[in-house]
Every structure is written in C-alpha cells, then in structure tokens.
Amino acid sequence: LRALKRDRQPHSLLQCGVSPLHSSLSVVRHPTTGELLDFTEELSEDTGLSCKNSLSFLRPPGPPGQTLRGSTTNYPFLPGGMEELSLDQIKKKTQLEEDIDFENNLLSTPPGFNRGMDFTNSEPKGTPSEVSLLSLLSSFDDIIDGRPEHGEQEEKKRGEEKGGERKVQRSNSLEELGIKDGLPPVTPSARRAKEEEEKKKKEEQENKKEGERERWAVPVDINTPCEDFHKRIPDPAFKWPFELDVFQKQAVLCLEKGQSVFVAAHTSAGKTVVAEYAIALSQKHMTRTIYTSPIKALSNQKFRDFKGTFGDVGLLTGDVQLNPEASCLIMTTEILRSMLYNGSDVIRDLEWVIFDEVHYINDIERGVVWEEVLIMLPEHVGIILLSATVPNALEFSDWIGDGAERREKIFVISTLKRPVPLEHFLYTGNSSKTQKELFLLVDSNGTFLTKGYYAAVEAKKERTSKHAQSFGAKTASQNTTPNQDRAVWLSLLSSLSQRDQTPVVAFTFSRTRCDDNARALSSLDLTSSAEKSEIHCFFNKCITRLRGSDRQLPQVLQMIQLLKKGIGVHHSGILPILKEVIEMLFTRGLVKVLFATETFAMGVNMPARTVVFDSIRKHDGTGFRDLLPGEYIQMAGRAGRRGLDTTGTVIILCKAGVHEMSDLHKMMLGKPTVLQSQFRLTYTMILNLLRVEALRVTDMMKRSFSECHCRRDAQSHEKRIAQLKKMLSSLPPIDTEGQLADLVTYYHTVRELTLTRGTLQKATLESVNGVKALSVGRVVVINNSQHTNALGVILQVSSDSANRTFTALVLCEKDGEGTLKPDAAPTPPKSPQLLCSTALFIPEGPCGHTVQKIRAEDVTGITVKTLRVAPDRIIDNFNKRQMPRFKLDPPGQAISTTTQELLRLAEANPDGVATLDPVNDLQLKGVEVVEASMRLRILQESLGQFTCVHSPRFSEEFSRLQERMVLQEELDRLQFLVSDQSLSLLPEYHQRVEVLKSLQYVDAGGAVQLKGRVACELSSHELLLTELLFEGALSSLPPEESAALLSCLVFTQKTQVTPEINASLQEGVQRVLGVAKRIAELQRECGLSESVEDYVGQYKFGLTEVVYCWARGMPFSEIATLTDVQEGIVVRCIQRLDEVLKDVRNAARIVGDSVLYSKMEQASTAIKRDIVFTASLYTH
C-alpha cells in the first residue's frame, strides 16, 4: 500500500471561531447639553443564541437549507403563553436530577487523565483598581477634548459660576427633577385621599376577578348590520365583487384589529372569505400566512383557488413542494406541527394560521395534531378557525385563550341560518308509476312534519300489501337486491332530471356500492351531445400526462363511458387523477349524478342542487350505526347553490322500509357533534419535548383541551391554597406530650375507621342482597345530622335506583318530633367517642318518634331484627298529626306499638344491636369487601390501645387537631389538583417514558440519546422503524425489498389475496413481526393497555408483492391484477410509502449508515414513476 503524504499543520489546532461579543459600550451624555461624559460597558443578554440552544426569536436564523422545514436538532420557538424558565425554576431540581454539592468533594481529574489540577491553594491575588474606560481613550483627540479630570473641574467651575445650579438628572418624573408645572400644589390630605381611592378601586377589581373568571371567548353579535363597515375600513386589503354578509364583515373587522377569530358557519355560507382576507392582509403587511387543511385533496384545490386569486401561493404536502418561499403556504396540519417542533424560520414571519374544517379535531387518530399545533404556536401568530356549526364554539375558544395559555381573546362568530335553506324529503318510489312518491319531512323553516312521515309509511305499507295479495307475504328484510336498487335509482333520477333538479350528489357509505350503483345505471343518459363532446375533449386532455398502458386501465376506460352519460364516482378507490377530473367536470355542471362517499363532503366546495342519501346507516370501523347529526348536516349541506337555487333538496331513500321517526328527527334536527379532545400521548411528541429542557410534556398535557375543565379553576385554587396556608400558620400548635403522645395516630386511626366503614356501607347498599335486606320492616341504625345511632324501621323504599331513599320511623326525643327532610348538607364533625361508639340512642325523657325520608348513606347498620309494621297506617297517621288542627292528637295504635318495640329493643341492647355481616350474612365475597371487613375489625380492636383518650384535655386537643387536619386535607386536595400529579394522562406518560428508557431512546435522567434523535426524524411508527434501523434489518435487503417490507406501515385495508413473495421477503416479514411483538410485550410490561395482538395486527403485508413488483418496474396495469385492493388505494399507499422511505433515509444519515441512505434513495426513485406520481391537475 502506498501511503499518501499529508502536510502537517499543527497551528490549525489552535484556530477557533470568533466568539460573539458579550458586551457593548454605551455613551453617557449630559442630559441638557449632550456633552460626552463617559463610557459604560453593558452586558448583552442574548449572546451566543442559536437554534440549537434557545427558544427565543432573537436567535439568528438557521442554515438556508433548514429555513422551511427546520431540523430535528433545532429548538422550537417559545409557544404562546409559556415563559422561559426563571433562575429559581432552573435551580429547582426534578426527581431525576442528582443533588450535587458544588462546595465539597469536587472532582479535579478529568476522565482518562492521570492527574488533574490542584485548586486547594488558589488564593485571590487582590483585585485590580477600577479603570475608567474614558481614561483609556483619552489619548484620542477626536473622541473627546481633554482628560476626564479636566472635564470634571470645568463642569464644577461652570456650575459655581451659575450660582450653584444643580446638575439635571435623568428621570421620567417631573417631581423628581423638581420642575414645577402650572398645576396647583397637591396637599398631603388630597394625596392621601387619592391614594385611598385608588386602593379601593384596586380592591374592587381584585374582588371582581376573584368572583368571576375572565372569559377569553368573546361572542360577536351578527344581528346588527355593519352600516359603517366601509368607513371603518376605507382601504381594505381585498375587495370582492359582491356585498359581504354581516358575519363576514365582523370577521374582517376583527382581522383588521389583529384579533383571532373562530368562524362557525353553515356549509356554503362563505367562510373562505375570511381566509382570503387574512391572506391579502399578510401580503399587505409583507408577512406570511399558513393555510392548513385536514386532507391533501383539499390542499390541492385551495392551492388552485388561491393561486388564481393571489398569485404568490405555495404548496407543501408529503410528496409536493411548490413555491415554498411564497407569502401564503398551504399545507396539511401534520406538516405545520413538524415545522413548529423543528423550529422552522418560516414561523418568524408568520402573521396568521388558518385552520380549515377545524371540527376534524374530533378525529380519533389525527385530532391530537390540531391540539398540538394550537398549543405550540408562538403568541405573535394570529389564529383563524373555520368550522361548520358546532355547539361548543365558545368553550373551545375559551380553551385556546385560557387553557392553552395564549392569553388572547378569541372572537367567536356564528351564523344563525343557512344562506340557502334546505328541504328534506323521504322517497318511497321504485318505478315509473311511483316516482312521484316524494314526501316533505322537514320544510325550509326547519319544522318536522309528521304528516309527511305518516304519508310515506302509508305509501310503503300499501305497496307491501298489494305485493302480498299478488305474490304472498314476504319476510321483512333491511337489505335489497341489486335489481331493486337499480329500479329505485332509475325512477328517482328520471324524476329529478325531468324537474331540473340536477346536479345530484348521492352519498353512499360503501365504495363497492358506489361502483355497483353507477354501473347499474348504464342505460341512463343525462347529457346532451354537446356536453358529451366537451367531456370527451377534457378527459382526453387530462390523461395525456399518463403513459400509454396507464390510459388503458379498466378503471380509466370505464370512467370515461360513465362520465359521457353524466355519471361520476368519487371515493378513495378511484385513481387520484380521475377524482380530480370528476371534480372539475362536476364544477362545470357536466356531471349530473355523482355517487360519492362521505369524504366528498369534507371541505370540498362543490355544491349541488340535490343531495340523496342511499342509506342513513354507516360502518364506523367498529360496527353499523345511524348517522350523527353533525355528519348528516355536513353532507346535506352540499345541497343548494348560493345565487342559483332558492332552496336545496335533500332526499332520503326508503328502499326496504321507512326509517323510525325518532331516528330521523334526531339525525335531522339534533345538535351537531361537540368539539371533543382527542389528545393522546405519542412517542414522537414525548421525544420532541424531552430534547428541549425548557419544554415539558406535562406542560403540553396541562394545556390540552381534555384538561381544560380541570385546570379552569386553577387560579382560584391557588388563592385558596394561600388562604389555607395562612390559616394553618395562625393555628396554635397541638399538644402531643405525655398521655397525648399518640393523639395524631389516634386521629388517623379514627379517620381510617370512618372511611372503611363508609366503603363497606356503600358496597352493602349497592349489592343485590343489601337492597333486599333493606325491605319494609327492617330495623336499621341511622346516623345523620339529626340522629346519632338511632334505631329506625323502614316503612317505604323508593323505586329510583339511582338516588334511592327510604321512609323510616325513627326514635328521637319527645321535643324533636316532626317531619324532617333528608339533610343535603354534610354531617358536621362529631367527637371521636361518637364516631367509634356503637351505643344506641335512648331518649332521656319520654320517647318520641318521627317519620323521615333518609338517604342510603344515613343507614350505618342493617340489624338482624325485623318488625311487623303497617306502613300506610303509620305514614297516614303521622302526616295527619302534622296538620295544625290535629297537632295535639295522640299517636295511632300502629305508631305506638312500633315505637315501643324499637325502644324495648334499644334498652335491651344499649351497646348495639347485632348487624348483618356483609361477608357472612349478605354473601359479599368481593376482595375489596372482605379486606375492608377485616380491616374494620382490626381498627376497632386497636382503639382500646391508645392512651390519649384517658387525658383530661383529650376532647379539647382532639377538636383542635381535627380543625387543623380538615384544613390540611383541603390544602392537600387543592395542591394535588394544581399539581402535575392530577393530570389524567400522567400515568401513561410515565409508562411510555419507561418504554423509551428500556429501549435506550432516553437515559435515566431523561436526556434523548441517539436512538431517540433518530426516532424524532420519523413521522409515524417511530419505535418499529428505529429498532429495524439499529438491528440492520433493512441494510441487508435490496432497495425494492426494503420498499415492499415497509409497505406494511402504510397499508391498513383488508385483502383476501395472499401475496406471493420470495424467501428473503418472507424472512423480512417475520423479522418485522418479531420486532413488533417485542415492542408490544415491553409496552405491556410497562403498564400500557394496548394488547400485543392489536399492536402486531396493525402491520398488514397485503401490498408487499404489489410494491415489490412496482419497484422493479412492472406496469400499473399488471400490478392491478395482483390484488383485490382498488387502484386508488394502491396509489395512495405507494405515495405514503415514499414519505416513509424519505424518513428512513434521513434517519440513516443521522446514524451514519451511508449504505442504507443510498438504498432508500434508490427505492424512492424506483417507486416514483408513472400514474402513481402523476402531478395533480390542480397544481400543474
């Protein structure tokens, strides 16, 4: 081997970059003459800031390559409402930090060194005398003329010549400068009165704040017209060719003031106007706007719309990046979340973020993304939320302003009605004879017409009876045959076409049924020859970008035939380019009937004349259910084109039978679904926050929408905590000397005994046997605010099982007779003797009685005794004697007998009557009940061992201790509520951190390690991918096999076709499943609830063969024959797979695996071809 000679340059080791200046010079001038007096050195606070160590906007921008997306090594910018840690917070150690002594036992030898430095004899050698900066510069004549001493002497001499005029000091106060204004002097009494008045006002404001929590959601009144709109905004940033509605004007006024808004408006009301004005406003201010949408298709459509309106618009999706430096960027919410976590410099110039279709926050899988983004947005960014009408818009906005701690008002603007009202019909026809069987169910005013419903029921019943007379009775079935469906659709569409009710959107909740319905209508022709020609030319023009074989795909050929007849199909199984062609033809009015699934209603601005529901039942992933009101309104809202139709028509097909009236009423007129938190912890979120010391996962949990109800009263809790601490400090100390040494232990024992007895009592009363025992005639022991260990007998039992009450005759003193209602207030604290005593109440004088309604918790003992009673006679006689005229009448025979029997029983058993044992008598064998019963027995026996009860001062000291402990318990409860320990997701957070520690993603102190950094690069399935990466499972495979194996991460459908794959891929599949099983088992060990089967089962390998062949260059027409999965789903999965391959490529770069990096590049290139990655018609 020939060694290459290298020039040695030892001096290069001594070179280092220029460190930033930590201070600057400030000039001191005379306040009146401006004469230069001195220089002072001022320390710079923001020295050395960078995107790697600071959340501040004062840090310099990162490298140009990271401007848009940022980097996983960057700190995010400080979220709104969060404050950077103070010095005290930094000093405060967490549980994971060591208690380091910086004074003693310090290490002096670095690791790997033989010897270190000796600091023992380091004595300070005296401080140098202070040096005047001006004296150092005195030699430069151009800076100042003369030495400082000379200047000072001249200044002093000048002052003496002016008659001792004093030097003017810098100050913001005229009083401090001694300068008199023309106002009369303020007397001390007037000053005191003013101070008292200000103090009083301040106290009133504080009391008002304490009584009422500040509301951050501000409802805007849209009933009052904005007549001065053009005066208030004489030069608007954007002008429309039409007059704005009141709600749009109110929103524009808020945006002009820089205020955040939540616009909850009906479908097709014109929410996009608000977004357009925000974009125009940011262009006017030369700032940026980000428009987020829940789905990629909507992003593409908005890009086309805004591009035509504003020009300077960019698009960011998983596989497309167009004009990223534009002032308006359109992206999915997941990309914005990634930019926020990665500290993208785009956030610096951001003025507005527009969240379209914000009700998507209810999505179980992706809803958490909206919450993360709203929490992570910096405070300078304005928020615009666009949504369909939701009942809790004010509550959600209040959370953004308060719960997410942005501390800004959110102005809520809601529309009261649709611009185009809807009429809802039931259709029972199935032939040309019955095609007019259309019954109005809800009119344009929103009135539910039962007459129309019963007419539809009669029409359906009449046809059924005629069929039975001709062909015999048939069994009732909710399913219809394809021929029956075809007859219904043909009759309905012929009727709608004749009445000029097209275009029609037919919502069908099954992709297969969409295709079947469209194919079944091949005999129907809804277009003219001119329209056919236009459709043919447009379709051929759009598919010219496809290669030859792709143009001959069965789906493409079938679709052109359907489109020429005015029929379209729109669902996830359709190829993306075909869906876009159908959407564009629909907006032109050339598609007369569109069979679509629910996704078509998500934000796509394509209104129709009529909307038809094939069914009102859908499968939500777990089972079939009726449509929710929000879902129905979202889809039905597509009916009615503003400016073209006076009303929109909504039709529900009654194919098998007429739906239940209650179901229809609930669906059509019920309240829309409220916005609910879907916040959950993910490993990506945890790792992204753990890598930044200033941000904590618990802070993210606190600010989530799910915790806002618990955290809403945190401020009042803090004030109450301060009061309790003050009250506790003012209480005298408890005497625990001598006999009272075990007083505190005695209190805790009594407290535990009371709680245990309450637990047993609750378990008994909730059990079947306990309820049976509490029947009429049962003798019970009663304790409440009026009675202590008093015997009573049950006379009546209420039928309300939720809040069961009992009417009982109870012994009492003679003067305590009367009707007593159940006491809703808590029982006041009793002495320990009464708490622990089982001695029964015996009247001191003549025995009295009362008939009282008691709660279940008042019954502290169910005795073994029962009495034969006449409840009706007792209650009637007692009620009669409550009337004034019968007040002095003697009790009836039934009452006297029962009272005497209870008194005899109490006198015969003064220390307590035998009660039913929960375990032995009532047969309650639950573990908790048995343990509580044993614990109760032990506690009762231990009470006799305490010496404090014999002290003469016991009662006094116990009362004082009880007072203190009640306050202490309330304090502990409130401190728990305001602490992180009360967070509902905290246990899961600790469990997930344990998983990360076990897999070495973070160390014992919570610091993110290399594997954790790699996982941050991955947008989904981060644990599985990282483990495969570090085990080298992907490095040994060819690029096409790696892509095929990773398809399991993006394919979620079921397939009946088993893929045929080679031995290498089969081995890879088993390896992936093995790693997934190991992760799932570790999660279970750490306490997470997800089962091993569910975790492993999410990875499906149904497209493995398809992706493998596609990566090897097989045409798509041949690919489609390898699987029963529809073409559109295959395309979408391969597009998402490309995003996964890019993530793995970036992760390989961090690890330093150049081989895997190269293979992922090759795999990505291999699958990015032909119809799968054809450019969108909206963007090109």
| Per-residue pLDDT tens digits for 686-740 | 999 998 888 888 888 888 888 877 777 777 788 888 888 888 888 888 888 888 8
Q: What is the mean pLDDT of residues 224-244?
A: 87
Q: How confident is the model at residue 85 (pLDDT cuts 50, 70, 90)?
A: low
Q: How confident is the model at residue 174 (pLDDT cuts 50, 70, 90)?
A: very low
In the predicted structure, residue 1049 carries a pLDDT above the cut 80: yes
Q: Which of 1040, 1014, 1043 is nearest to 1027 (CA)?
A: 1014
Beta strands, E only, 436-557: 438-442, 504-507
Per-residue H/E/C for 366-388: CHHHHHHHHHHCCCCCEEEEEEC
Within a 10 A sphere around the Cβ of 1096, how many other Cβ atoms? 18
Spell out the residues 6+ positions from residue 997 whose beta carbon is closer than 8 angstroms to its own: 1003, 1004
Mean pLDDT of all residues in 1124-1149 = 91
> Does the pLDDT value for residue 902 go beyond 90?
no
Question: 638-687 pLDDT, tens per residue?
Answer: 888 877 888 889 999 888 778 888 888 888 888 888 888 889 899 999 99
Give the confidence band of 880 by pLDDT, cuts at 50, 70, 90: confident
The yes-or-no verdict on residue 311 having pLDDT over 50 is yes
CB 545 within 8 A of CB 263: no
- Please determine, for residue 176, whether its predicted confidence score (pLDDT) is greater than 80: no
- In this predicted structure, what is the pLDDT of residue 191? 60
What pLDDT, on a 0 to 100 scale, did the predictor assign at position 476? 43
> What's phi and psi for 230, nearest 5 deg?
-70, -25
Q: What is the pLDDT of residue 101?
A: 66
Give the span between the Cα atoms of 199 and 1120, in whole angstroms: 80
Q: 593-596 and 36-43: which strand pairing?
A: unpaired
Distances (CA, A) of 94 to 53, 98, 356, 881, 1006: 20, 8, 40, 69, 11
CA distance 645 to 423: 12
- Between CA 963 and CA 875 the distance in angstroms is 41
Say what the pLDDT of residue 1099 is. 92
- The alpha carbon torsion through 770, 773, 776, 779 (nearest 10 deg) reads -100
Determine the pLDDT at residue 471. 43
Q: pLDDT above 70 covers what percent of the chain?
A: 85
Q: Are the CB atoms for 290 and 262 separated by under 8 Å?
A: no
Q: Which two tokens stand for residue 997?
A: 């520690």
What does the pLDDT read at residue 537? 92
pLDDT at 212: 52
Q: What mean pLDDT, rounded, does the chain reach?
A: 81
Angle between helix axes 1127-1151 and 1104-1111 (nearest 10 degrees) is: 70
pLDDT at 229 over 70: yes
For residue 351, pLDDT beyond 90: yes
Q: Judge whether 571 and 1128 are in contact, CB under 8 Å.
A: yes
pLDDT value of residue 1078:
94
Whether the predicted pLDDT of 998 surpasses 90 = yes
User: Which residues in 355-377 are b (16+ Cβ under 10 Å) and which e?
Assistant: bbbbbbbbeeebbbbbbbbbbbb
Query: What pLDDT is attached to residue 51?
Result: 85
Q: Does residue 546 contact residue 1116 with C-beta atoms inside 8 Å? A: no
Higher pLDDT, 101 or 569: 569
Calpha distance 200→969 (Å, rounded) = 34
Whole-prediction pTM value? 0.76
Which whole number is the average pLDDT over 508-535? 87
Q: Is the pLDDT of residue 157 over 80?
A: no
Residue 168 has pLDDT above 50, yes or no: no
pLDDT for 82: 72
Give bridge partners of residue 625 from the DSSP assignment.
618
On whether the CB atoms of residues 958 and 832 are closer than 8 A, the answer is: yes
Q: Across residues 1120-1138, what is the average pLDDT?
A: 90
The whole-number pLDDT of residue 93 equals: 53
- The pLDDT of residue 194: 64
Do residues 604 and 304 lie in contact, with contact meaning Cβ atoms separated by under 8 Å?
no
Taking only the tens place, the pLDDT of each residue in 943-991 is 778 888 888 888 888 888 888 888 888 888 888 888 778 788 889 999 9
Question: Which residue, among 261, 345, 275, 284, has the nearest Cα to 305 in the 3D structure?
Answer: 275
Supply the pLDDT for residue 4.
57
Residues 837-843: what's their mean pLDDT? 78
